[in-house]
Amino acid sequence: MTQRPGTLAHLPALDGLRGLALAGVLLFHANGTLRGGYLGVDLFFVLSGYLITSLLLAEHAATGRIALAPFWVRRARRLFPALLSMMPAVALYARFVAKPSELAGLRTDALATLGYVANWRAIFSHKSYWELFASPSPLEHCWSLSIEEQFYVVWPLLVALVLRRAGSENAKRAILVVSLVLTALSVAAMLFMFDPAKTSRVYLGTDTRAASILAGAALAAVISPSTTFAPSTVRKLDVLGVLAVVGLGVAWVKLEGANRFLYRGGFWLTEIGGLVLILCAVSGRRSLVGRFLGLRPLAWLGTISYGVYLWHWPVNVLLSPQRLHFRGFWLHVTQLSLTFVIAILSYRFLEKPIRTRGLPFGRPLYVVPLVVTLAVLMIVGGTVPRAGTLDPKQLALQTQSPLGGGGAAFEPVFEPAQFRIMLLGDSTANSLGWGLRGVRQPGLVVELMGHDGCTMLATTLCDEPLWAERTAQVKPNATLLFLGGAFLHGVTLDGDWRKSCYPGWDRKFEHNLEQRLGDLESANGRVWLVTLPYPLDVYDNDTFRHEVDCINASIRKSAAAVLGIEVLELGERLCPKGVCQREHEGVEIRPDGVHYTIDGASSLSRWVLEQIQSKRD
């Protein structure tokens, strides 16, 4: 059978490598089951760089040129049908499921995804990729597709230009040099721009993540998929392959996305591991590692990987624990089952037919712009705000960012009151305040003064300079200071990104907290420091629990250091002996694992009121 120029012989092990990468991502997105599974994206990147560059070099070797237009058409046939088919589903989600506060962001996410600039959209909107579980967008995962598509547009142009100047004899050497130089520039960009407080910039940036794709391109300039290795070389590759599998396994299990080591060499080590696995895959069945990668389940998963990747995250967002009312293993089974059903149907009836035979009707020149226009119109129509769908109080609560990140504090209402409570702290304080308001006790007024992202580590985020002034204005009978999201906050200390349980972090937290409490303790009324309960769902792990213990120890220490400050042991009340109450009368108390609902927290809110009112002067 004669191969078309610009095609490669099929290697099941390369499909298996793609399947392995996808498995890591799926497990990471299953509420962080595999902590470092996001590194599967790097395997995708390395493999894409290798395969695309191999295709371009093969075409140049066969024809003496690179036909850019046919290349881009083939890429469009491969990627666009499945992506466009997902847009009506996103529009329906926006219309009937999404909260009104999510619509504007979802519209921008969808349009950026269609334009393959989703990664830059996330960067310029200052979104943190590591908060994806707390405030999920169904298109959060499309940033990596954008980077790949940008590569597909720019890299063939550059390769064609370089090969035109280098000629056939020096083609591979020229591509190798260009790939290595650009890889070095990308590595330098990550080193130079890395900020431990804002890792998303270097994690999502095309410039900083290009190194992985370009590393694959460099390998393609040295080893083609048709290369045959000597038996001794295959044995050596197997040894390196086993080491690569072990190393990647450790990284996928241990490395969190904000870990400083990743940006100081960790990414590049995992990419070298990916290059080794590609060499094992190219060795085929003569390689033990190659045979493992070529196993039918892995190869099959790699074959439908694009559709699975596209659909898995929207399905996860739709089939959330809050909607299905169950969690754990069976939740993930349900999510994956629906994902695979959709992906298999997409591959069988949409992706494969169009990729191999083109559009079944009409001319692409007219059909594609029409379909894209319809997708845009559906997205815009689906994200038009729906008036009257939420009570103003509920809307105010929902617009509080689960992890902070801006937003003004609530203004005091100054209603006549027999007992007035002032809530200070972050967005969790405001959500607890709504629960207190939900008790509807006559004469009770609750002033919500929490500020999104409030932390005792930076005095500009909590509105602290106004706390004493607010206290004088409000004249609360009780002030509650609650920093329920403190376990998520870090600061650069001793040249690294630190969180609670690090001595320097704890000292800084305690010092700033005691200073702020000093502004409050002289006011009329009692001041309560509220301990943190253990977070739930994606945050329910030993690391966060340990950090919460350290924060609560600091809270108790600071309360003892400032005269007149009392401790409200909300953490022990909600999580006695480390086991947290999840629901009250069938309603979740903290649907996102951190923030409180009015109905779910009703019993807890009554307990809070009993505690602070039982000690009234």
Confidence of residue 458 (pLDDT cuts 50, 70, 90): low
Element (DSSP H or E) covering residue 513: helix 503-520
Classify 392-613 by CATH class: alpha beta
Least confident of 18-27, 362-371, 577-586: 362-371
Residues of the chain with pLDDT > 70, as a percent, come to: 89
Q: What is the mean pLDDT of residues 174-197?
A: 93
**How confident is the model at residue 135, as a pLDDT?**
60
Q: What is the pLDDT of residues 486-499, one digit of tens each?
A: 888 887 777 677 88
The secondary structure element, H or E, covering residue 173 is helix 171-193
Q: What is the bridge-based pairing of β-strands 491-493 and 587-588?
A: unpaired
pLDDT bin (cut points 50, 70, 90) of residue 551 is very high
Q: Which of 517, 564, 528, 513 is nearest to 421 (CA)?
A: 528
Q: What is the mean pLDDT of residues 121-147?
A: 81
* Cα-based distances in Å from 513 to 3, 113, 172, 242, 484: 70, 42, 61, 50, 14
Amino acid at 320: S
Q: Is the pLDDT of residue 125 over 80?
A: yes
Look at residue 617 and tell me whether its pLDDT is greater than 50.
no
Comparing 40 with 98, which gets the higher pLDDT?
40
Residue-wise pLDDT for 505-528, tens only, equals 999 999 989 888 887 765 567 899
State yes or no: pLDDT of 305 exceeds 80.
Answer: yes
Domain positions in the chain: 12-382, 392-613
**pLDDT tens digit string along 229-263?**
999 999 999 999 999 999 999 999 988 887 888 99
Candidates 91, 78, 38; CA nearest to 307 is 78
Cα gap 52→160, rounded to integer Å = 13
H/E stretch holding 166 reads: helix 143-166
155/401: higher pLDDT = 155
Over 60: is that where the pLDDT of 460 sits? no
Q: Convert 429-442 to b/e letters by CB count within 10 Å (16 or more is b).
A: bbbbbbbbbbbebe
